[in-house]
Structure 1
Amino acid sequence: MPILNRYMAREFFRMAAACILGFLALFLVIDFMESADKLISNHAAAPEIFRYYLYKIPGVFFMISPVAVLVAVLITVSLRARANEFTAMFSAGIGPLRAFAPLIAGCLLISALSLGSSEILAPHANRMAKEIARLRVRAGRVAAQFSLNRYWIRGQNAILSAQVIDTGGRALHGFQYLEIDRDFRLLRRIDARTAEYGKEGKWLLRDGRERRFDGDLRAVPFKEKAFIFPETVQGFLDGETSPEEMTYEQLSGYIGDSKGRGYDVRRYEVDLHAKLSYPLLNVIVAMIAIPIALRRPRSGGVWRSIGAGLLIGFFCWMALSASLSLGRMGFLPPMAAAWLPDLLFAVGGGVLFLRYNA
Structure 2
Amino acid sequence: MNLIDRYVLREWLKTLGLALCAVLGLLVMQAMLEDFQELRDAGSSAFELILYFAIKVPGYFAIVLPLVLLASLLYALGQLHRNNETVAMRAAGVGIFRITRSIWAAGVVMCGLVWALNASIVPWSVDKSREMSEQIKFRHETQTRTSDQIGLTGVVTFDNQRQRRMWFFNRYSKYLQRGYGACVSELDEKHREKSRIRAREARYEDKRGWTFYDGRETWLDPETGEIMRTVAFGTKVMPHFAEDPELMMVFDRRPNDLSFFQLKRIIEYFTIEDNPKVTVYAVRYFGLLADTLSPLIVLALAIPFAMTGVRVNPMVGVSKSIGLFAVYFILLKLADTLGTRGVVDPQTAALLPSMVMLGVGGFFFVRMR
TM-score, normalisation: structure 1: 0.70
* Counterpart contact for 1:75–1:306, Cα < 8 Å: no
Matching residue of 1:245: 259
Runs of 4 or more consecutive aligned structure 1 residues displaced over 4 Å after TM superposition: 135-141, 153-156, 158-161, 186-189, 206-210, 212-216, 220-224, 237-244, 250-253, 296-301, 303-315
SS where residue 211 of structure 1 aligns? strand
| Structure with the greater alpha carbon radius of gyration | 2
SS where residue 307 of structure 2 aligns? helix
Aligned counterpart in structure 2 of residue 326 of structure 1, from 315, 321, 338: 338
CA distance in 2: counterparts of 1:100 and 1:310, whole angstroms: 19
Point out where structure 1 has 5 or more consecutive residues left out of the alignment. Answer: 142-152, 165-172, 194-205, 225-234
After superposition, the Cα gap between the structure-2 partners of 1:137 and 1:217, relative to the gap in structure 1 and judged at 3 Å, is: closer
* Counterpart contact for 2:36–2:49, Cα < 8 Å: no
Alignment of 1:152-191 (within 5 A): 162=158, 175-177=166-168, 189-191=183-185
- Structure of higher RCO (CA pairs closer than 8 Å, 6+ residues apart): 1
Matching residue of 1:340: 352
Matching residue of 2:17: 17
Residue type matched to 2:92 in 1? A
Alignment of 1:225-240 (within 5 A): 236=249, 240=253
SS where residue 271 of structure 2 aligns? helix
After superposition, the Cα gap between the structure-2 partners of 1:350 and 1:190, relative to the gap in structure 1 and judged at 3 Å, is: same
Give the superposed CA RMSD.
Answer: 4.2
SS where residue 270 of structure 2 aligns? helix
After superposition, the Cα gap between the structure-2 partners of 1:308 and 1:47, relative to the gap in structure 1 and judged at 3 Å, is: farther
Matching residue of 1:52: 52
After superposition, the Cα gap between the structure-2 partners of 1:236 and 1:115, relative to the gap in structure 1 and judged at 3 Å, is: same
Matching residue of 2:219: 218
Query: Per-residue displacement from partner, 1:155-176 (whole Å, max 9, x unpaired)?
Result: 79x9967368xxxxxxxx9642
Point out where structure 2 has 5 or more consecutive residues left out of the alignment. Answer: 143-149, 171-177, 199-214, 226-247
Matching residue of 1:87: 87
Q: Offset of 1:59 from its aligned partner?
A: 2.2
Matching residue of 2:297: 284
Matching residue of 2:73: 73
Q: Offset of 1:71 from its aligned partner?
A: 0.9
TM-score, normalisation: structure 2: 0.69
SS where residue 332 of structure 1 aligns? coil
CA distance in 1: counterparts of 2:182 and 2:122, whole angstroms: 39
Are 1:272 and 2:285 counterparts?
yes
Query: Per-residue displacement from partner, 1:56-91 (whole Å, max 9, x unpaired)?
Result: 222210111111111111111101111111111111
CA distance in 2: counterparts of 1:346 and 1:355, whole angstroms: 14
After superposition, the Cα gap between the structure-2 partners of 1:216 and 1:48, relative to the gap in structure 1 and judged at 3 Å, is: closer
SS where residue 118 of structure 2 aligns? helix
CA distance in 2: counterparts of 1:223 and 1:307, whole angstroms: 70
CA distance in 1: counterparts of 2:294 and 2:56, whole angstroms: 21
* Counterpart contact for 2:332–2:353, Cα < 8 Å: yes
Q: Offset of 1:261 from its aligned partner?
A: 7.6
SS where residue 44 of structure 1 aligns? coil
Q: Offset of 1:140 from its aligned partner?
A: 5.7
Q: Offset of 1:216 from its aligned partner?
A: 6.6
After superposition, the Cα gap between the structure-2 partners of 1:329 and 1:306, relative to the gap in structure 1 and judged at 3 Å, is: same
Q: Offset of 1:209 from its aligned partner?
A: 5.4
CA distance in 1: counterparts of 2:284 and 2:34, whole angstroms: 26
Residue type matched to 1:218 in 2? W
CA distance in 1: counterparts of 2:73 and 2:334, whole angstroms: 25
After superposition, the Cα gap between the structure-2 partners of 1:155 and 1:87, relative to the gap in structure 1 and judged at 3 Å, is: closer
Query: Per-residue displacement from partner, 1:136-160 (whole Å, max 9, x unpaired)?
Result: 579869xxxxxxxxxxx9979x996
